[in-house]
Chain A
Amino acid sequence: MGVESSEFTENPPKNSPNYEQPTTNCHMKNWYKILSVLLILYTIFWGLMGPVPRLDILNETIRNVYYHVPIWFAMLFMMSVSIWYAIRYLLSSDTVFETKSFNAAKVGFFFSIPGIITGCFWAKYTWGTYWTFQDPKLNGVAIGILIYLAYFILRNSIPDELKRARISAVYNIFAYVMLIVFIMILPRLTDSLHPGNGGNPAFGKYDLDNNMRMVFYPAIIGWILFSCWVFEIKNRIAQLNSILNDQ
């Protein structure tokens, strides 16, 4: 750990490849924001109006697949982005990457809340309960949320900036790998109640018909792009804050 790396803790010099000008026009970069809003609006409208197959137990609740599943996809995507930046931070010791990793974890955590709420209400109508411990996906999510809460608590409990970045990046990577392992092991321990698992009626490859695909895939892309947008705003706020703190 040299002196020179501790000097650009928050603000890399302008010639650094990681420097992003905070105030320049980024109109060309806005296409994905517009696309995400259009896709999400399309899926909200067409998800409620479009035709769906009639399945036992699921009935009309199958429409939740347009909202619940893509939000989880967006969360997993952001968690992976967080790990990507944590690894890049450990390899380069540039704290800008670590701030991005933290922001991505925050955005991912933010997306887990609507994911859980949509799931709970759906479960109430199909399984008759808001929460059950019989399902590996629910247990995996619960552990994932505990891990990220622990990560936030750890990161907030260390005052020194460089130390905080290093330690929380290490925990982030370790915890993410263990979470993935947990999600892979769990189905061997308990059968899932989720549609498509353990002999339940599914919107798996046979039931997700072409009409549903036309809404489901755009929904995934839309929500992931939307999470990228939130992530970018978070990064810009962090960048501005670091400039303010330096002055």
Chain B
Amino acid sequence: MSLSQINTLLKKEFLLEFRQKASLGGILVYVAATVFISALSFTGKIHTHEWNALFWVILLFASVTVSSKSFLKETKGLGLFNYSYYSPRSFILSKIIFNMVLMLIISLITLFFYIWFIGGNIKNFSLFFITLALSSTGFAGVLSLMSAIAAKANNNFALMSILSFPVLMPMVLVSIRLSKQAIDGLSWGVSYDFLLILAALNVLIIMLANLLFPYLWND
């Protein structure tokens, strides 16, 4: 594992993503359409409790959909090249960092459409943003590993959701609690405990992904 390898891989990922404008645009339309459908189905007032839950459900599905293709692009030849050229740790780390940025962008886009179509009043926006950033990191860690697993098992999208939903549960529940506190505008002291849990979860997930990915890599 070396920083220069991670750097090269990250550059490659971003270049590929921005070159294929259809994929970024696809995410945008996916999120916009989902939010619009929910706005139409709810019509009218929606309470903060449901607002919060719906936001995280949409975000969860969008994240799984987007990240499921993160190992899809690796063809057999490219996989062999990566295998001989890069260390597995720098490979998974670069995937996690890339997915993290992608997730953060997606969650901000979702939030934008969500507030536009459905409305909402977040009293403590900085807490909400920190929650989004932390949960994006955790989601990226879990989903990168899960998409690597699903890719090995013949790229089945249903499999990807089956594998990742139960594993993401702790992240989602803590994030929902935190964002509810942000919406209600509670003081930082109340949320401090949960922020710490979320950060610790992120560290644990990234460590586990680093530890386990090399075993997926050699075959």
Contact = CB atoms under 8 A, between A and B. Distances in A.
Given A147-B167, A189-B177, A173 B154 contact: no
Interface in B122-181: 142, 145, 149, 152-154, 156, 159, 162-163, 165-167, 169-170, 173-174, 177
A37 interface: no
Interface string A161-193: 011001101110111011001100110110000
Nearest to A190: B173
B208 A174 contact: yes
A162 B154 CA distance: 15
Chain B's interface: helix, strand, loop or mixed, by majority? helix
Chain A's interface: helix, strand, loop or mixed, by majority? helix
Interface residues of B, number: 31
B2 interface: no
Interface in B169-219: 169-170, 173-174, 177, 193-194, 197, 201, 204-205, 208-209, 212, 215-216, 218-219
B149 A167 contact: yes
Contacts of A1: 218-219
Contacts of A147: 166-167
Given A167-B149, A185-B173, 16 more contacts: A150-B166, A153-B162, A163-B152, A167-B153, A170-B149, A170-B216, A174-B208, A177-B204, A178-B142, A178-B167, A178-B169, A181-B170, A182-B169, A182-B170, A185-B170, A188-B194
Interface residues of A, number: 29
Nearest to A160: B219
Contacts of B152: 158, 163, 167
A208 interface: no
B219 A150 contact: no
Contact of B216 (A154, A157, A167, A182): A167
